[in-house]
Amino acid sequence: MTTITAEPMRAVSQPSTPPTLAKRAGALLASEWIKIRSVRSTYWAMLISIVAVIVLDVLIARHFVTSWDTLPASEKASFDPLGVVFNGFGFAQLAITSLGVLVISSEYSSGLIRTTFSAAPRRRAVLMAKAAVFGAVALVIGEVLSFGCFWLGQAILSGKHLGISISDPGALRAVLAAGCYLFVAGIIGLGLGALLRSTAGAIASAIGLLFLLPQVVGALPSPWRSDIGKFLPGNLISQLTSSDPSSKLLTPGWCWVVLIAYPIVFLAAGAYVISRRDA
């Protein structure tokens, strides 16, 4: 049935020298970049984010401009020319968080993760490469959107001289923070995806954390409401973007620290379980 060969020859084409750490990291990043570019969900998430943010920005800004003269004084007093332009970010947040979940959960649900890990056995490095590539995409979309909607919104508001400039106090910080929030929410999604592996479970958990938890906390009696609430991601952003000083419970510096701690904690949790469980 078989012919006996004298000495089986080696057919292996190992790279002659082991690749450097930088080369290996670059290879993983390039691989994840191909993956994120080659699926439609990426483009859907971007499209939903852009459309929702721009449309709501324009509609709401125009509403204030056209109805300003007839608005009651109390509403005029509470008008926030900075926060008003970021109304569509809730939709963008949902879309980008779901994309973050899918970046890893789609590999688990299809079984592709086994192919990925049998090419790159260092699983934490794979997760970090995913986080870096997807995080960069989310951050760029977020910042482009927040700067774009700031200019657009302020251009409309300036029709009634309601607008502010990026050089006004707190404006630049608010615009940067709003954009950064898509990155934070997206990485929370990625971490949840690595933790739970199920797309539905991770998206539901992300919605619970980012959208429902603030409502539950908001229904608590004060002082708990603000003591707990001020640490929730959405409220950290409000504190950074609002021009209303009474809403600021934490200093901007602390807001940034807590905000950045969220993706780190979720990613660390995902990294902890990813190499401990069977793939």
Partner 1 sequence: MIEATALTKRYGGTMAVDDLTFAVRPGHVTGFLGPNGAGKSTTMRMILGLDAPTKGSVTVDGHRFADLIWPLHRVGALLDANALHGGRTAHAHLSALARSSGIGPSRVRGVLAEVGLSSVAHKRVRGFSLGMKQRLGIAAALLGDPGILMFDEPVNGLDPEGIRWIRELFRRLAGEGRTVLVSSHLMSEMALTADHLLIIGRGRLIADTSVTDFVSSAGTSRLLVRSSSSGELARLLLADGAAVEPGPDAQIVVTGVSAEVVGDLAAGHNIPIYDLHTEHASLEEAFMTLTADRVEFRAAAHTPTTSED
By CB under 8 A, is residue 1 in contact with partner 1? yes
Does 22 interact with partner 1 (rule: CB under 8 A)? no
Residue 275 has φ and ψ, to the nearest 5°, of -95, 0
Q: Of 55, 112, 155, 273, which one interacts with partner 1 (CB under 8 A)?
A: 112
Cα(141)–Cα(131) distance, integer angstroms? 15
The verdict on 14 binding partner 1 (CB under 8 A) reads yes
16 binds partner 1 (CB under 8 A): no
Name every residue whose Cβ is closer than 8 Å to that of residue 81 and which is 6 or more positions away in sequence.
154, 157, 162, 163, 164, 243
The residues in 118-157 that bind partner 1, with binding defined as CB under 8 A, are 118-122
24 binding partner 1? (CB under 8 A): yes
For residue 107, count CB atoms less than 10 angstroms from its CB and return exposed for 0-12, middle for 13-18, buried for 19 or more: buried
Asked if 40 interacts with partner 1 (CB under 8 A), we say yes
Query: Is residue 245 at the binding interface for partner 1, with CB under 8 A as the rule?
Result: no
Radius of gyration for the alpha carbons in the chain, expressed in angstroms and rounded = 23
Q: How far apart are CA 45 and CA 225, in angstroms?
A: 32
Shorter beta-carbon distance to partner 1: residue 13 or 78: 13
Q: Does 223 bind partner 1 (CB under 8 A)?
A: no
Q: How far is CA 112 from CA 68, 96, 105, in A?
A: 55, 22, 10
Which residues in this chain contact partner 1 in the complex, by CB under 8 A? 1-2, 5, 8-15, 18-19, 23-24, 27-28, 30-32, 34-35, 37-41, 106-107, 110-112, 114-122, 278-279
